[in-house]
């Protein structure tokens, strides 16, 4: 049976819309990239909101924000609930935000009811989940989990050459706490699906059993600038033409493993970017994903073969740097079971699902039992200003988050998961 605690859908929706005004875009989305003034503003909002509930807020050395409410049992490590408040340049109102604000709503419900959990509850806002400004993505949770060091994070630069560490200092959100010093009993993350499956099947809740493996690469193609009007076609070393061939190769590789594989070239920088100069240099990114690590490795091998072929045929030197290599993740069976049981007890239709996107839960699953909850988003659209989910769907997800956390808390009373 579900608990008699009920989240407030109107209050949750109100916080979603209130925070959406921080970095709001004319088209109804949010541009709140990490370590910007807008990010600093929403961090201040989050601190005020959690402290008003009696939480103590810790900011660690890479800016992760951890709001702690004590439990009855100080010997138990906290149950963490959260996601991220940074967005893409043309982000929507729900990606990441729902996970943090849904967790905040769950905690508000507990506090207002005077309900004390056995374990402390920790609400988390992770730094730089999106990776839009600083790659790799999920950097803050990665440092917390030990996948990266603080020094490695600090040294990452954005497209303008600004260091992550300097940007963090500039907005005033570098904390003193060692990242990862707080040990956890479990981690749950609520998120919109960012895909079309739940909506198409009319399911209210996605019970996320795992996350696809993800590999990111930066390719630098160096040819030779020359006059567009006087250089014969056979004598060109056109870096942009070579990159166009590689874009086609990435697409072909992903299609060869369809429908479970995806491949994307999402970013390009062309130099000198002049209309009458044959491009001499291109920097481009490649994103390959699959839920099976062996298949992902095969896709990577095919990409490297394509790079060698195109380099020779186009007379362009190509350097490949791997930015991101995350193995496919399987979430903890006890946490998955808690999410499924919560949805079923609430009478919400559910289905198991694998996440095609990376999330902070990927890193957290390496250090603590973890799982995720998905709710539908309209047309499966995300990373877009038109991203949308309904009041009812957001509320259902937050209620499942609360119920799953309570189920895990009850189990912790008799021992670790």
DSSP string, 232-252: -GGG---HHHHHHHHHHHHHH
Spatial CA neighbour of 114 closest among 56, 47, 190, 54: 54
User: What residue segments make up the domains of the chain, in order of their start?
Assistant: 9-211+328-412, 213-326
For residues 214 and 363, is the Cβ–Cβ distance under 8 A?
A: no
Mind listing the pLDDT tens digit for each residue in 98-116?
Answer: 999 999 999 999 999 999 9
Separation of CA 175 from chain center: 22
How many C-beta atoms lie closer than 10 Å to residue 234's C-beta? 6
Mean pLDDT taken over the chain: 97
Q: Is the pLDDT reported for residue 366 higher than 80? A: yes
Spatial CA neighbour of 101 closest among 82, 79, 127, 114: 82
- pLDDT-based confidence at 388, cuts 50/70/90? very high
Q: How far apart are CA 99 and CA 374, in angstroms?
A: 10
Q: What is the pLDDT of residue 344?
A: 98
The pLDDT of 365-383, averaged and rounded, is 97
- pLDDT-based confidence at 319, cuts 50/70/90? very high
Listing DSSP states for 315-329 in one string gives T-EEEEEEEEEE--E
How many helices (H) does the chain have, and how many strands (E)? 12, 16
Which residue do the tokens 């100080």 mark? Answer: 74
Q: How far apart are CA 281 and CA 271, in angstroms?
A: 5
First vs last C-alpha separation in the chain? 21
Q: What is the pLDDT of residue 173?
A: 98
Q: Is the pLDDT reported for residue 1 higher than 90? A: no
The pLDDT of 131-150, averaged and rounded, is 96
Q: What is the pLDDT of residue 326?
A: 84
What would the CATH number be for the domain defined by 213-326?
3.30.70.360
Query: What whole-number percentage of the chain has pLDDT above 90?
Result: 96
Q: What is the pLDDT of residue 102?
A: 98
Q: Is the pLDDT reported for residue 346 higher than 80? A: yes
Mind listing the pLDDT tens digit for each residue in 26-73?
Answer: 999 999 999 999 999 999 999 999 999 999 999 999 999 999 999 999
Helices 391-412 & 9-20, crossing angle to 10 degrees? 110
- pLDDT-based confidence at 181, cuts 50/70/90? very high
Q: Is the pLDDT reported for residue 192 higher than 80? A: yes
Q: Which CATH number fits domain 9-211+328-412: 2.60.120.10, 3.40.50.300, 3.40.630.10, 3.40.50.720?
A: 3.40.630.10
Q: What is the pLDDT of residue 2?
A: 81
Q: What is the pLDDT of residue 358?
A: 87
Mind listing the pLDDT tens digit for each residue in 205-214?
Answer: 999 999 999 8
- pTM reported for the whole predicted model: 0.87
Query: What whole-number percentage of the chain has pLDDT above 70?
Result: 100
The pLDDT of 125-151, averaged and rounded, is 96
- pLDDT-based confidence at 324, cuts 50/70/90? confident
Q: What is the pLDDT of residue 163?
A: 98
* DSSP-based three-state secondary structure for 396: helix
Region of 155 on the Ramachandran plot (φ > 0 left; ψ -120 to 50 alpha; else beta): alpha
């Amino acid at each position: 049976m579900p608990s008699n605690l009920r989240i407030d859908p109107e209050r949750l929706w109100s916080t979603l819309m209130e925070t959406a005004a921080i970095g709001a875009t004319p088209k109804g989305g949010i541009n709140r990239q990490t370590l910007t003034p807008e990010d600093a503003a929403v961090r201040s909002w989050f601190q005020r909101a959690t402290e008003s509930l009696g939480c103590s807020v810790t900011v660690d050395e890479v800016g992760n924000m951890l709001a702690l409410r004590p439990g009855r049992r100080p010997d138990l490590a906290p149950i963490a609930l959260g996601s991220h408040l940074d967005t893409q340049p043309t982000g929507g109102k729900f990606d990441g935000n729902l996970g943090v604000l849904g967790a905040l709503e769950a905690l508000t419900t507990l506090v207002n009811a005077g309900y004390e959990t056995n374990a402390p509850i920790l609400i988390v806002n992770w730094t730089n989940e999106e990776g839009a400004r600083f790659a790799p993505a999920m950097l803050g949770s990665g440092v917390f989990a030990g996948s990266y060091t603080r020094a490695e994070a600090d040294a990452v630069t954005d497209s303008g050459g600004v260091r992550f560490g300097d940007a963090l200092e500039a907005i005033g959100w570098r904390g003193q706490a060692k990242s990862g010093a707080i040990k956890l009993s479990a981690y749950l993350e609520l998120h919109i699906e960012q895909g079309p499956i739940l909506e198409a099947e009319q399911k209210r809740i996605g019970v996320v059993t795992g996350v696809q493996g993800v590999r990111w690469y930066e390719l630098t193609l160096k040819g030779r600038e020359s006059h567009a009007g006087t250089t014969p076609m056979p004598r060109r070393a056109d870096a942009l033409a070579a990159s166009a061939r590689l874009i086609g190769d990435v697409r072909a590789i992903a299609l060869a493993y369809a429908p479970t594989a995806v491949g994307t070239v999402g970013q390009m920088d062309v130099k000198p970017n002049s209309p009458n100069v044959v491009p001499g240099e291109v920097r481009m990114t490649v994103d390959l994903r699959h839920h099976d690590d062996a298949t992902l490795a095969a896709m990577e091998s095919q990409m490297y073969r394509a790079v060698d072929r195109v380099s020779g045929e186009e007379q362009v030197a190509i350097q490949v740097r791997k930015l991101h290599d995350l193995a496919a993740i399987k979430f903890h069976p006890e946490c998955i079971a808690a999410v499924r049981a919560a949805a079923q007890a609430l009478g919400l239709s559910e289905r198991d699902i694998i996440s095609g996107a990376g999330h902070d839960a990927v890193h957290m699953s390496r250090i603590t039992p973890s799982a995720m909850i998905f709710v539908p988003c309209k047309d499966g659209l995300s990373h877009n200003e038109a991203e949308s989910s309904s009041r009812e769907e957001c509320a259902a997800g937050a209620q499942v988050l609360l119920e799953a956390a309570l189920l895990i808390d009850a189990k912790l009373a008799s021992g670790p998961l």
